[in-house]
Structure 1
Amino acid sequence: MTEMVVAARASAPAAGRWGAAPPQELLERLKDYGQEGAFAFWDELGPEERDHLIRDIESLDLPRIDRIIRCSLRSQGAPVPTVEPVPESSVSTVDDRTPEDKERWWRRGLRAISEGKLAVVLLAGGQGTRLGSSDPKGCFSIGLPSRKSLFQLQAERILCIQKLAAQCTDAPGSTVQIHWYIMTSPFTDEATRKFFETHRYFGLEPNQVTFFQQGTIPCVSPDGRFIMETPYKVAKAPDGNGGVYAALKSKRLLDDMASKGVKYVDCYGVDNVLVRVADPTFLGYFIDRGVSAAAKVVRKAYPQEKVGVFVQRGRGGPLSVVEYSEMDAAMTTEINQTTGRLRYCWSNVCLHMFTLDFLNQVTNSLEKDSM
């Protein structure tokens, strides 16, 4: 995206209630963050446009945005911090487990689902631009004979798990309901809601589906300056999958989950046709391990595959993800001499499991950082 340049009008508009200059206090705030360029076209704006620009800027959390921009600029061209491969003890390969283990996890997961302890969060804020569509990704049909969309495939998986979990209850004929929280963006929210309404929620009950919008952040130039969509509007984009934490907090959805008795949250991305939504085996394993967060991983197919990989930050440090664009050739191709596999081989495919307590801790820490 490039900055927009607009030709000056032939005659200057009336000053309006803001006068000939922008509000001094707001201008000084923007100068503190190096963003006074947002007022570059003030003299060419009409009264209503000036009002729109003022409201637009006042709606921005400037301290938070500045921290994000500075962090991003610092990371550009910076070497990857010292990392280690994920310890083998941190990865459990399902195929290597005994049938008894897998059966135990499956049943434990189904039991937790039957007790209403699992909620599902879908990250569905993106448009299918790279698929040649401006519709939400979840509306996309991948060419199956059934012509089912991604949303329908995932809804039907939830319906299937609900039926299986109902068989684990002590009351014959009882029903199980998994609540599905779907994160949209300002660009996909209306279309997503209409798609579900048109398709009658694919057999799910409307009250078990909650839509919520992720936030947006300003688009910035390579030097960190706001890009203007128009002379009176800052260009904005969805704040990415990581925006789910702030969105869950601001919409009080974690409180909603707690009121429903939810203890665990399955979180995944919409553009995975093979996703096992609300996977009982994954949930059972997660509960069995007693951890706060876990992720499904897939072994990289080849060194140059464009996927981020899980790493350990320093010896004994926390696990995190290094994006493929951050990995140099040596790191990408390095071989573990013991296993014969790539040393950094466990790719992030956006399939996560969290405890509700963990999500509350993360969102509370974000809230403190923004104060």
Structure 2
Amino acid sequence: MTNAVELRNITLAYGSFVAVENVSLSIEKGTFLTLLGPSGCGKTTILRSIAGLVNPTAGDIEIAGRRVNDVPIHKRNIGLVFQNYALFPHKTIFDNIGFGLKYRNVPKPAIAAKVKRALEIVRLPGVEKKLPSELSGGQQQRIALARAIVIEPDVLLLDEPLSALDANLRDEMRVELKQIQRQTGITTIFVTHDQGEALAMSDRVVVMNRGRIEQMGSPFDVYEHPQTEFVAGFLGNANFLQATVVAMQGEAVQVRLAGGANLLVGGGHARPVKPGDAVKVVVRAEKVVVTPECTVPIMARIVDVDYLGALARYEVELAGGQRLRALSSLHEKARSLGETVGVGIDPEHCRIL
């Protein structure tokens, strides 16, 4: 089956600055894929190259099996939603949504039917005669989305479309956007630097750094099985521990931390290891369990406490000076600054990078 979008060895340079370097990516039809990473990592540049707003220095872009490197944006059959909505302020909502259809010479009765259907999909029926200024920010975002999907594009490109909304509305639109994508089945490429958005909405996540793909996979895979320190640190609240491999126990690896404590690390490591190797172990803060003293072999001292409503965030110092962050539910007993505690880490919740 032909992929909805295919990138082959895409490079995009501005003089001596390389914004995207040798990126290849296959996106199956109907997938919700997110390009995730910090500012300047190349994610928006990739989106703009798929849209036809910038031309790659090298490599090929295919949409629905057709090479589009030299095809102008209006002939690529894409829907594009920006973070600033880009609605025509003096046109009615009907004319805003129907603009692309009118440009494609769709008959007026068909335009009316398609606009009505698009408004039903974004849950704003009956606003056809209003102007954008008469709608809230969230409603304007829905109109921008309706305008993008009404043309039945081969791919929908979303350039940080939720960043201008307040936190509550952003959460609401995140749910709505995913439901609309599932309802329409349109292949969607979403750009964001917000890890929560990426994990909640995506079928696949592509984590980018310095113009390259660091890791791609399902939200579960990139979060639970990070392959690099950058991915582990960018997604979630990660701890990194310096250790030495002591022994192999099947798929698991026994390591010794500075200070002498032993830790068993489960399978799924990012690289092969052997006894004597110096390694870095990653474990998420929410996976670190702070327990009463002497119930586990790794002892620590609480050096900082933050109370976050239903959670407490502890920073603990291990023997040897390494520090860990732990998130604990306050349904458990609250711990105090300076208290000596045990630190429990399930082998399946840590990985060797």
TM-score (norm 2): 0.26
Structure having the larger proportion of residues in helix: 1
Asked which structure has the greater RCO (Cα within 8 Å, sep 6+), the reply is 1
TM-score (norm 1): 0.25
Structure having the larger proportion of residues in strand: 2
